[in-house]
Amino acid sequence: MSEQNLDEVIYNQEGLTEKQKKILEAAIETFAEKGFAATSTSEIAKKAGVAEGTIFRHYKTKKELLMKIVSPMMFKLIGPIVIKDLYKVLDQEFDDFEEFLRAMIDNREQFLKNNIKTIRILIQEIPFQEELREQFIEHIGKKVYGRFRRIVQHYQEKEEIIVMNPDTVIRLIISTVLGYFATKYVISPREWNDEEEIERMLGFLKRGLTPIKK
């Protein structure tokens, strides 16, 4: 598949011993469930089936363990959009804005489903880890934002979407899409017709962003 599971990225990478993988697995599990600060290293060791000392042989501190889990996420979180899809868009690979949105949503949803625990940890810890915030601004704030803005401008020029400050457009799109993901994966309502919801959301975005006719 085109989208790789981040779990692999993190703990199936080469050079990791069996124990290291177990540690990462256990840490992700527990950090996601109880939070970083409320998780003890002895708990991770027990869950991973290794001695307490073994964790510190591979990761100097508990915080380094967190960072090794969460940091690569930053790059992957928005990676594909940035790198691959930008050129697809500019090369007219997508007929229109709606098709681009559809592809992007699908692509990110795969990623999200595969890495939900790690993403949860990332979101929880961003407010408290200076280092993560810096990385976030560096990667999302600069690289992604810049390229996303070019895509929006591309469709504005094609008169498919309204001429409005691209930052605002991006915000409106992201808010709407995150709201969809949050509802689906966090609230997870009992009645949920996914296809319908996607169509409604796309309709809403399309109408909301349609250029105003003179």
Partner DNA sequence: AATGAATGAGAGTTCATTCAT
Partner DNA sequence: GATGAATGAACTCTCATTCAT
| Residue 156 binding DNA, by CB under 7 A | no
Judged by CB, which is closer to a copy of itself: 92, or 188? 188
For residue 32, give the H/E element and its range. Answer: helix 18-34
- Can you give the length of the chain in residues? 214
The helix (H) or strand (E) run that includes residue 122 is: helix 116-125
- Among residues 51, 83, 163, 182, which is the contact residue for DNA, using CB under 7 A? 51
The entry of DNA, a copy of itself, none near residue 60 (CB within 5 to 8 angstroms by kind) is DNA
Q: Of 47-55, 103-111, 169-177, 198-206, which segment contacts DNA by CB under 7 A?
A: 47-55
Partner interacting with residue 163 (select from a copy of itself, DNA, none; CB below 5-8 Å by kind): none
14 binds DNA (CB under 7 A): no
180 contact, one of DNA, a copy of itself, none, CB 5-8 Å limit per kind = a copy of itself
Residue 198 CA to residue 204 CA, distance in Å, equals: 10
**Cβ neighbourhood burial of 110 (10 Å; 0-12, 13-18, 19+):** middle
Beta strands in the chain (DSSP E): none
Place of tokens 């599990």: 29
**In whole angstroms, how large is the CA radius of gyration of the chain?**
20
In the stretch 58-87, what mask flags binding to DNA with x, by CB under 7 A? x-xxxx------------------------
Q: Which of 12, 13, 17, 175 binds DNA (CB under 7 A)?
A: 17
**What H or E segment, with its residue span, contains residue 24?**
helix 18-34
Residue 29 binds DNA (CB under 7 A): no
Which residues would be at the binding site for DNA (CB under 7 A)?
A: 17-20, 39-43, 50-58, 60-63
